Amino acid sequence: MIASPARSAYHTVVVGAGIIGLYTAYHLAHAGAGPILVLDRGFLSSGASGRNGGGVRQQWETPATIRLARESVAAYRRFGREFGYNIWFRQSGYVFVAEDEGQLARLRRVNAVVRGEGLVSRVIDAAEVLRLVPGIRPDAILGGTYLRTDGILYPFPALWGLYEAVRALGVEVLLGVEVTGIHAPGGRVAAVETSLGRIATEHCVNAAGGWSGELSRRAGLDVPNVTTRHEILATEPLKPFLDPMVVRVSDGLYFSQTMRGEIVGGIAPSATLATPPGMGSSLDFLARMSRGLVGLFPQFRSLRVLRAWSGYYDDTPDGFPVIGTDARLPGFVHANGFGGHGFMLAPASAQRVARAVLGEPSDLDPHLFGPQRFSEPGRALPTERLQLG
């Protein structure tokens, strides 16, 4: 049975109970704002937040992303103390691997930016890759980069911990309720239209993940967000041998080993095949993923796949998320466009979303993160292109 909202009017309605929506509700409630209502048409973890690889890295091409990632790592380190849930965050590093000089040169540039932000990443040679990734075919790699404080977490307890925390702070979370439109009679958000009827609110946060573009368009806003389906698999367990997350630059192949011993990973979608509908798995993905893994570890030839699934990325043209109030529709706040990396950026990003709702000044560059940036004339600003793993 779906519950009804306890009130007829709210300070903020957050659309989406994924990691971004829940963290935003948490920061808002923590700041004393309210009443707050979180609506999700699915179940907790039905979106990308319950379908991802759990990777948390700070190796990025731009200082702006590195800062959000570093702050988020600090938040995940204290998650257990703050929320009473163990998210099994282990800082066992990320290894990016290059197969040729061009890729290695790119990683060297990334490394310089990361080190410039005070993080001790380093360029490593093939021998060190082999030490960190035992069993990898030495002739398949030239070198790479490594940052030990990157890591992997288990996404589900993060959602459960936040869900309980926000409810304890008085936030209402209703699952199975769809937001179908935005009511903005005077050109400002006044209510959300939902499958339960109209609910009055001063602010609406669009944290709808891969469906955020759809919601913005329902609000009459033209946005460039694009939804792409990404697949992922888990193999049968192997004896523990691998600590870091491994990412190959050439094709976005990434994999890590869970504490149960499974290899979990994915690869960039095929550039030529049309995206199949739904959130299942495709033969094309299984074939490319198997070729990728067996190419690096011939001993994986007989390793069996136990599960495979997919989820949606919410991509933006420049690779930065969209955070802030939409000037075209006051009261409508974007918290979307996180591509394949929303979990690792969530704690710090959601704090900026909450500030936008509260009308507080932001330390984020609006030319990089603001909703208006896509319509800036002659825009030639940095892009965040390390959209791998």
Ligand X SMILES: Cc1cc2nc3c(=O)[nH]c(=O)nc-3n(C[C@H](O)[C@H](O)[C@H](O)COP(=O)(O)OP(=O)(O)OC[C@H]3O[C@@H](n4cnc5c(N)ncnc54)[C@H](O)[C@@H]3O)c2cc1C
Nearest to ligand X of 38, 129 (CB atom) = 38
Q: Which residues of the shown chain bind ligand X in the complex (CB under 6 A)?
A: 15-21, 39-42, 46-49, 51-55, 178-179, 207-211, 215, 230, 232, 266, 311-313, 338, 340-344
Q: Smallest distance, Å, CB 358 to ligand X?
A: 20
In the complex, least distance from residue 121 CB atom to ligand X, rounded to whole angstroms: 18
- Nearest-angstrom CA–CA distance, 129 and 101: 16
- Comparison of 98 and 335: residue with beta carbon closer to ligand X: 335
| Shorter beta-carbon distance to ligand X: residue 145 or 316 | 316
Least Å distance between CB 300 and ligand X?
20
Is the Cβ of residue 104 or residue 235 nearer to ligand X in the bound state? 235
In sequence order, which residues have a C-beta less than 8 Å from that of residue 354 and are 6 or more positions away?
24, 27, 28, 31, 33
Q: Which of 265, 248, 340 is nearest to 305 (CA)?
A: 265
In the bound state with ligand X, the residue whose beta carbon lies nearer, of 136 and 344, is 344
Q: What's the residue count for the chain?
A: 389
Whether residue 89 contacts residue 77, with contact meaning beta carbons closer than 8 Å, is answered with yes
Instruction: Name which of 55 and 93 has its Cβ closer to ligand X.
Output: 55
**Which is nearer to ligand X, 73 or 104 (by Cβ)?**
73
User: C-beta of 98: minimal distance to ligand X in Å?
Assistant: 20
CB of 50 to ligand X, least distance (A): 7
Q: Shortest Cβ distance from residue 266 to ligand X (Å)?
A: 5
157/123 Cα distance (integer angstroms): 33
- Least distance CB 139 / ligand X (angstroms): 28
Q: Which is nearer to ligand X, 87 or 104 (CB)?
A: 87
Please tell me the distance from the alpha carbon of residue 303 to that of residue 262, in angstroms, as a whole number: 10
With contact defined as beta carbons under 8 Å apart, do 88 and 151 qualify?
no
Q: How far is the CB of 146 from ligand X (least distance, A)?
A: 17
Among 283, 289, 244, CA closest to 268:
289
Nearest approach, Cβ of 204 to ligand X (angstroms)? Answer: 11
